[in-house]
Structure 1
């Protein structure tokens, strides 16, 4: 794993991505026609949900100037400074099963979640 920021290298508080999640995200990124050497998965926190905060994910063509950038199994992950405080130490995984399929964030900073697991509070 490598980590870059606009201010230099900083390994503290980074987000981890499992191999399954990185493989799925890279497959989706390629299907969107994005360059995996420059583009990446943006992980962010936004206001919303019954517990107050929710996760967001999208592909970005390139990182913003002040993003923390990490690489996991070939996948670049971008996190903005405001979101970093809420999700540092989290693990992004991809689960596929009979009941549900998708990305899941395991966040050690969460003190409570809503019943459906879509929002949280730190």
Structure 2
């Protein structure tokens, strides 16, 4: 298990989380009755969608042994090694607007996205 500092330190985080996204996720963690000292948000990449890859998110009780853990604004993010190579350098945000509300990944590794924005290619 590898842990990246939220800020400062020798290693810069490879995944950022906005304060708004962290607040929303921590609120949802609480609603689920999960302990935010141990539990966290798992961010992963899976095969799917018309562009080939899509993001997935879920709450996990604890990290897996080979996860990299990022902590931002009190929220732990768990990322498995296979997903990390696709989302390194990304920013997780929470957006709300007239069209939709939800978490959004701003990924600098994306070279194309499908028309609906649900999948991507690196």
2:31 corresponds to: 31
Runs of 4 or more off by more than 4 Å in structure 1?
none
2:117 corresponds to: 117
1:44 to 2:47 alignment: no
8 Å CA contact retained: 2:13, 2:70: no
1:4 corresponds to: 3
2:57 corresponds to: 57
1:94 to 2:74 alignment: no
Coordinate RMSD, CA, aligned: 1.6
2:85 corresponds to: 85
2: CA distance between counterparts of 1:14 and 1:89? Answer: 5
Q: TM-score normalized by structure 1?
A: 0.91
- Secondary structure of the corresponding residue to residue 59 of structure 2: strand
2: CA distance between counterparts of 1:104 and 1:46? Answer: 16
Unaligned runs of 5+ in 1: none
Unaligned runs of 5+ in 2: none
1: CA distance between counterparts of 2:72 and 2:13? Answer: 15
- Secondary structure of the corresponding residue to residue 26 of structure 2: helix
8 Å CA contact retained: 1:13, 1:88: no
